[in-house]
Structures are given as structure tokens and as C-alpha cells.
Amino acid sequence: MKDLNQEEWREKTSEDKDAIIIDVRTPEEVEDGFIPGAINVDIYDAPGFMNKINSLDKEKNYYIYCKSGGRSSQACAIMEQIGFDNTYNLSGGFSQWNGEKEV
């Protein structure tokens, strides 16, 4: 896992053809907005989270965020334990995101 600040995040996701953005917040939190292109995989729904994560291509690059950076860091650690090599955590999370948002 590598922590990325917002500038690094925007730069890497715009240049990375294998980028997959994962929002690990709850569906209720996602209703407040999300980063365009993100898929929601609620980490609090442990069985659902693990089912979805296990179905993903481990060769891709995963950019993961939550509200403040804690849950996404945890998600990166879980993904690394099951064989994902390229996970990136958005430092500060969505609460500090000042880039493009969808509602």
C-alpha cells in the first residue's frame, strides 16, 4: 500500500489505464457524493466486501478511499494479505477531497 495525497492521486489515476477506484464507505455516506468512476464496496459489510474483493483482478491497480483514510488503509491491508500488489490509499479521504465529485 502506498498513501497518496490528492495531487498524487489525481495524477496517477488519470495516467493509469488499469486504475480501479474503490469507495469503501457505507451506501449512506456515498449519498453525500463520490469520486467519479468509483465503485462502492462497503467495508462494514464484511462478507460482501470479501466476496467483491476476491472477484477482482489482482493484477490491476486499486485506488481506495473512505471518509478520512482509516477504513481505506484497512482495505488496502486486507487486499495485500490476499495477494493484491498495487493498492493506493487516499490520504485524508473524501472529507478532504477537493477534486471532482458526483452526487
Q: Which of 66, 76, 79, 90 is catalytic?
A: 66
Please compute, for residue 33, the number of CA atoms within 13 A of its CA located in the half-sphere on the CB side. Answer: 12
Determine whether 66 is an active site residue: yes
Whether residue 51 contacts residue 93, with contact meaning beta carbons closer than 8 Å, is answered with no
The three grid cell numbers given for residue 51, joined into one nine-digit string: 466476496
Active site residues: 66
